Structure 1
C-alpha cells in the first residue's frame, strides 16, 4: 500500500513509462464542475495539499461551473489524456442531469480514478406530524392525508419516483429545494411532511428536534445516523444505486493505465493520511478510498438502472 511517495518512489512506479520519463513531472489540474465553495470543491481543496505532497507536484483546482455540471465534465472529457488532468463529481446526480438535459458527449466515456467516500440519503419527517416510522408515512400518503414530498432538486426525483412505483407511496406533488437548509425549513414549517435529503444535510433539523429520520435509503447505513433503520431493514426493496451519493474521481478516456495507477495510489494515500482523516472526523465527512473499477461500476450502474426504473420522458416532464 502506498503511504508516502517522494521523487525516487515515483520514478520506480513510473518506470514502465520508458522514454516518457517520470510521471508526474509537472503540475496537475483538478477540474471541479461546480462553483467554488460547494461540496465537490470542498473535498478537492481539502485533498489538494496532501495529494501535492504525495505526488511532489502542485495541484491546481479549476472550477468550471455551468449547465448542471455538464460544462466542466465536458472539459474534463476532452482534456489531454496524459494523466495531468482529473476531476471530481458525483455520478448519480450528474448522470440524472445528463439524462434530463442530454449534453453533446457521452459522460460514460470517462475513466474511473477512485471513489473517495459516500453520503447516505435519508428520509426525514416533520416531528410535529408524530410519524412512527417510514411505514406510517407510506400509509398516510396512501390514505391521501399527505400529498407533498420534498427533495433536493431534480436530481432526487428518481428516488421519489421509486417510492411511487416500488413502495406504493403515491405522493402527488414533488417539491424541489435548492439545498439542505431550505429542505429542513420546509419540513420544520410543515410545508412538506416528508423529504429526501442527505444524512449530513439533515443533521441540523434532526438535532434541533424539527425532524425525525424515518429511513436510510442505502443498505450501507449512515455514519451520521448509525441507529436509524435502513430501507432494507424495514423490509423494502433495496435501492443502493439511488440511496447513496458516491463521491468519485475521473480522468479523460484513453489516459494510460500506468498513470491512472500512480495517481489512484496517491489518492489512496492522501485519503488515509492523518490530515484528511482528522478533517473527516471533525466535519462528519467520512472519507474512504475505492479503486478505479469501483468508480466505473457506479457510473455503469446509474446509467443502466435509472432508465429501467423510470420513463425518462416522465422524468423530464416532472423536472420541468
Structure 2
C-alpha cells in the first residue's frame, strides 16, 4: 500500500526521533552536560588570605572569566593549615566544573613535603587545568635593617641566629633551603599566609622573609622593604639593583613558585579543556598580561596535558628540596 506523502513523512520523522533518542541515551552524560556548561555561578576557591599571590591571580582571572562564560564567578577565600583547608574542600566538591581552585606550588608542590598525611592527594584528587604564571621570590628585610647585602645578612646569622618568617609552604622550604646552601643560622616563624608575615617583618618582629615578588612589590616601591636577593633567572625589571641568587653564587636554588587552576578529579574532560582554553585566552589579553607583569609574575599558560605533567614534576622537586633542607614532615 502506498501511503500519502504526509503520513510517510510523519512516520519517518517519528523514526528519526526514536533513533536520535536512542543515540542520546547511548551518549555519555558528560557529552550532553557539556553543551549547557556553564549555566550557573562558578566558585573559585583561594586557599590563602586576600592579598596573597593566589588571591590576586584569582581576582584577575575571575574578572574576565565571568563575562566570557556569561555567568557570575565568585571568589571564596578558605585560608588555613598551609592551604590544606581550601584544597581539601575542593577535592571533595562535585566534579562538575562549578568549583575551581587557584592552585599553587604551596598547596600542590610543597605541602606534600611538609605533612606526613594530607586530607587530599595533590595530584590524584585534582585535574590540573592550566598554569597561570610563575612567580620569582624576593628575600627582603626592612629598609632600616643593618644588612645592606645578602652577605651581611648571612654573616649576622652566623654571629647570632636571626628569625625569618614564612607564610606559605613554599616560603618555608625556600627559607630553609637558602639557610642550608648559604650556611645561615636562623629560626623559622610560621604565619597563616604571606601578608601577615610581611606585617610582622615591617613591625620588627622577624628579621627577614622569602616572599613572592607580587606580595612585596608595593612595599619595596614604597621604600619600606629592601630586597637582598631575587630567585629569578635574571634581575627583576622593577628592581634592577637587586642581584639574583645565582649571581651571588647560589646555583642550587632552583625552586619555581607557580599558580594555576584546577578542578576536582573526574571533572569531564570537555569542561577541563574549555576552562583551559578560556583562561589561556584571558592570559593573552594585553591588559591582563600587563597586570600580572606589574606584580612580578611571569605569565606562562600551558595545555591541559602539559600542566598535569608540570604539577607532578614540581611536587617531586619541592619534596627533594625539603629533604635536602632536613625539614621533618609533621
Q: TM-score, normalised by structure 1?
A: 0.75
CA separation in 2, counterparts of 1:106 and 1:70? 10
CA separation in 2, counterparts of 1:263 and 1:213? 36
CA positional deviation for 1:70: 2.3
Deviations 1:253-307 (A, max 9, x none): 23343332221111112223355346546x6364724113454344323421233
CA positional deviation for 1:309: 2.5
CA positional deviation for 1:185: 5.6
The residue number in structure 1 matching 2:37 is 24
Counterparts of 1:120-269 in structure 2, within 5 Å, are: 120-142=136-158, 144=159, 146-153=160-167, 155=169, 156-169=171-184, 171-177=185-191, 183-184=197-198, 186-187=200-201, 191-219=205-233, 221-241=235-255, 244-269=256-281
**Which deviates the most, 252-261 or 155-164?**
252-261
Distance 1:45 1:316, change over 3 A: same
Match of residue 34, structure 1, among 47, 52, 61: 47
Partner SS state of residue 108, structure 1: coil
Q: TM-score, normalised by structure 2?
A: 0.73
CA separation in 2, counterparts of 1:60 and 1:190? 36
RMSD of equivalent CA atoms: 3.5
Q: Number of matched residues? A: 296
CA separation in 2, counterparts of 1:217 and 1:70? 25
Please tell me whether the aligned partners of residues 219 and 240 of structure 1 are also in contact (alpha carbons under 8 angstroms).
no
The residue number in structure 2 matching 1:284 is 295
The reply on whether 1:100 has 2:127 as its aligned counterpart is no
Q: Which runs of 5+ in 2 are unaligned?
A: 1-29
Distance 1:234 1:255, change over 3 A: same
CA positional deviation for 1:187: 4.8
Deviations 1:189-234 (A, max 9, x none): 6554433223233345434545421111232553542442211122
Say which one has the larger Rg: 2
Q: Which runs of 5+ in 1 are unaligned?
A: 1-16
The residue number in structure 2 matching 1:51 is 65
Please tell me whether the aligned partners of residues 184 and 205 of structure 1 are also in contact (alpha carbons under 8 angstroms).
no
CA separation in 2, counterparts of 1:280 and 1:273? 11
CA separation in 2, counterparts of 1:185 and 1:49? 28
The reply on whether 1:270 has 2:282 as its aligned counterpart is yes
CA separation in 1, counterparts of 2:236 and 2:90? 31
The reply on whether 1:115 has 2:115 as its aligned counterpart is no
